[in-house]
Amino acid sequence: MIDGQTFIHKFETYCPQWLAEAGDPVGLHVGTLNKPIERVMMALDVRPEVVVEAIEKEIDLIIVKHPPIFRPVSRLSSDDPQEKMLMELIKHDIAVYAAHTNMDIIDDGLNDWFCELLGIQAETFLHQTHQVKMKKLAVFVPVDQAGHIRSVLAKAGAGQQGDYSNTSYSLIGTGRFIPQAKAHPAIGAAGKETQVQEAKIEVIFPETITSKVVDAMIQAHPYEEPAYDLYTLDNLPKVYGIGRVGNLPKPVDFDVFVDDVKKAFNLDCLRVIKPIHAKKYVQRIAICGGSGQSFYTDALNAQADVYITGDVTYHIAHDMQANGVIGIDPGHHIEALCIPRFIEKFNQWKAEEDWSVTFIPATTSTNPFQYQ
């Protein structure tokens, strides 16, 4: 059995809170992570019906895309359905943790999964949100401990470079030191000069995880006082963004593409915004899950033939038409794709970490719209 902190530590290594947009209330919303967890549910929304399902299935923790407390709650009254829902979660000791825009921005995240589903070969993000400088750690360790330290650094998140993981560089040399009277050396004796064959291990990582990487190294290092250098790199900044832009393998008739979108997301219908002189064939596609209408100018600048996003308002639709942007609004609920994809990822982590925990997809539909 694991506790909630252990699971969320793994989750935030993949989907860090700092990637959320400013003001987005991600993180723990209800309950505590300082408890054992046996059953974890993945959901798009936390609604009263979802809480009933969670209670019936004896869930300990809900991971949710949309934060249940998006605006401050000034009181809790069981007369209000939303407030009663929160009280039920507390009563049954069900914790709720939200990952919102950070889930949209991460590499191999929701917008990438949309592209996979639609056959879009993603090239770049739609709108830049973050630029993070990289750090380099150089640490000196006895040669026979180098493999262990490299493994610890990789597990802490160091050595991720593009499509590569566990990257590092090692250089062999000689370390020299004289332990003083109060020292407790792992190698050598007080007052005597000691020489050790050491590996200098270099790894890079985003500056946002500096403390995590350095702390992990210090905890694992055999020396009482590890020797290491830490640098800020001016090159190789890591850039993140929301939404994706890419190409279909070949041009497709727009009406055929609309049908493909409906099939991919299991929709009976969707809304289309079509300029008067719209293209008949489309290939370059921009997409942003959720309410991404504010990024339509980014889609225009990326020379996208079509922009797919939800919750487009009447006047923004007019602006899109006037600027020649073809829009497809499949609704907000397509983000439910996060449920099966994260269940798959959670089970992968379970196998890697040898966890004793069950991951359960929420089956209650939270789509408020019906079409008749």
Per-residue pLDDT of the chain (372 residues; tens, 9 = 90+): 899 999 999 999 899 999 999 999 999 999 999 999 999 999 999 999 999 999 999 999 999 999 999 888 888 999 999 999 999 999 999 999 999 999 999 999 999 999 999 999 999 999 999 999 999 999 999 999 999 999 999 989 899 887 889 999 999 999 998 999 888 888 888 888 989 999 999 999 999 999 999 999 999 999 999 999 999 999 889 899 999 999 999 999 999 999 999 999 999 999 999 998 899 999 999 999 999 999 999 999 999 999 999 999 999 999 999 999 999 999 999 999 999 999 999 999 999 999 999 999 999 999 999 888
User: What backbone phi and psi angles, to 5 degrees, belong to 251?
Assistant: -60, 145
The distance of Cα 29 from the centroid of its chain, to the nearest Å, equals 17
Residues 294 and 310: beta-carbon distance below 8 Å? no
Residue ranges, comma separated, of all CATH 3.40.1390.30 domains in the chain are: 2-100+336-361, 105-128+241-334
Residue ranges, comma separated, of all CATH 3.30.70.120 domains in the chain are: 131-239
pLDDT on residue 129: 97
Residues 5 and 33: beta-carbon distance below 8 Å? yes
pLDDT on residue 71: 84
Furthest C-alpha separation in the chain:
86
CATH of domain 105-128+241-334: 3.40.1390.30
Select 2-100+336-361's CATH number: 3.40.1390.30, 1.50.10.20, 3.30.70.100, 3.40.718.10: 3.40.1390.30
Residues 281 and 253: beta-carbon distance below 8 Å? yes
Fold type of domain 131-239: Alpha-Beta Plaits (3.30.70)
What is the C-alpha separation between 82 and 68, in angstroms, rounded?
9
Planar angle of CA 204, 3, 12, nearest 5 degrees? 30
